[in-house]
Chains A and B, each alone.
Chain A
């Protein structure tokens, strides 16, 4: 079951530096939301606040509210570890565990959490790899190291690894920026399939990609270097790319700055 995310008045800090300021938005379940904006505007930081990965960085701190359906992720007594089981993440660079085989990489989330039945593991691994459109390419070499795959295959392996623990939300931080166009296409097709089941949030620098895969698009910007990033607007992707309500958005999309 996908879940809705409701963010209100969220700011994030690195030590004394405020990276993003006062962000409020709603992310709809079973849809793809894209974040676009110039480098350093806080897209990735904001993404990482959605599964409490921001605080992993020394000095990382968050103010505000992130509601996952009706639970506040930053409320008292919330365990960040359980949050991350609900909200999975795929990173910019493919990062399969180098000591583990393809099979073990996909099974890692379940194994390391210690909550699985051995008999179910095979099924989960196959299902996750099929879900990531990788099964046919790797089914004969599940015991080979995951680092032997190509970059695009590694990224799909990472997606399979993230979906194997059955999160409600999947965050993707520029998942295609290290990939060639063919692998990018494979991942974009995959995102289209995954949104049937998950709430997907994707950060991208590629505006065509945002236009292709997302239902809604949020544009972030910062006033100047060193100032916190802000959400400028969020709307239906079609509207953002054809008739945005803020001039800055139009300038950015048409390449007049940034």
Chain B
């Protein structure tokens, strides 16, 4: 005689925690963590946060397992882990932006943005970053003028024409280029400069930045072009449109939003590079509007030099923070513009 398992009639309705339960657990966890931190004399806020995070995850599991059952509890733990991970990622970012903003606004004004350091000594107050903004704009602009067309054309070759050994070799070298440390790109151009017996100048920095920018542009453009449905290419070819016009008039317009975003992000990446600029552009306290002759300044280099040459002076620190804030704002604005263009150009 075999034993048969008798299934209990299952109700579709189970006990559920109220909607505010996660918030309640979170608030309790933070309160307990603060209390524990004060009681045990823990100074670091990071420790408080970690205690709160662990309590939040464990508390959620215990409460949910008790009320709702194990399956629901696992679901809630996964959700709370995602939230904790999100906060872990966002907190440092926000704290960085906040810290930079608070320290940076002290000397950030119209005068600061429109004057160079000139003869202001590093330890004294005064001066500005006009020369550095000008240098960064010119060096990054020239680098983009080189890297964006070459990168986009390379990606077009890889996606639309590339077959066989050459395409594989190009893909391989683009991968390798992605991993080049910025200082190595700088040294590469520096060796050329030494061979030709040249003094530092802005365009040399642009060349190194272009090397760093190129693989980013190629990769992002490649991905965007691959997203263009093949049916559109075939539709155009079947109308008797030559391949190059198909690419120019059908494929590129369809992908232009994504390509622009990719180029903007690549610009944002190189705008913060200081190592190659230090080697090749050298830095300059005076305004030099000619990127092809003489040393120039740039924002990341300015920040570094203000810090190094500060001799402990708060004036130099304040200027470094203000320049850092300017740089972050520049990159953020570029990102927002890129998103705007992507949204505006995406076919609906």
Contacts and interface: CB of A to CB of B under 8 A. Distances in A.
Main SS of chain A's interface residues?
Answer: helix
A53 B239 contact: no
Contact of B348 (A83, A111, A147): A147
B347 A85 contact: no
A99 B347 contact: yes
A97 B234 contact: no
Interface in A83-114: 83-86, 88-89, 91, 93, 95, 97-99, 108-109, 111-114
Contacts of B342: none
Contacts of B236: 97, 108, 112
Interface stretch (A122-130, A158-166, A200-208, A238-246): A158-166
Contacts of B163: 58
A84 B234 CA distance: 11
Interface residues on B, range: 20 to 34
B237 interface: yes
Nearest to B253: A99
Given A56-B234, A99-B253, A147 B239 contact: no
B229 interface: yes
B240 A109 contact: yes
Interface string B231-257: 111111111111001100110011000
Nearest to A99: B253
Nearest to A111: B249
A161 B231 contact: no
Contact of A91 (B231, B241, B242, B250): B231
Contacts of A98: 232, 254, 347-348
A165 B240 CA distance: 9
Contacts of A109: 239-241
A81 interface: yes
A108 B241 CA distance: 9
Nearest to B345: A99
A51 interface: yes
Given A84-B240, A98-B254, A112 B246 contact: yes
Contacts of B238: 51, 53, 84, 88-89, 91, 162
Nearest to B255: A99
A97 B232 contact: yes
A88 B241 CA distance: 11
Contact of B235 (A99, A145, A148, A158): A158
Contacts of B246: 112
A114 B235 CA distance: 17
A88 B236 CA distance: 10
A93 B229 CA distance: 12
B241 A95 contact: no
In order of increasing CB-CB distance, the 7 nearest A-B pairs are A85-B240, A98-B347, A89-B238, A109-B239, A84-B240, A95-B231, A112-B241
Interface of A: 51, 53, 56, 58, 81-86, 88-89, 91, 93, 95, 97-99, 108-109, 111-114, 145, 147-148, 158, 161-162, 165
20 contacts: A51-B238, A58-B163, A82-B240, A84-B237, A84-B239, A85-B239, A86-B240, A88-B238, A97-B232, A97-B236, A108-B236, A108-B249, A109-B240, A111-B249, A112-B236, A112-B239, A113-B239, A113-B241, A145-B348, A161-B239
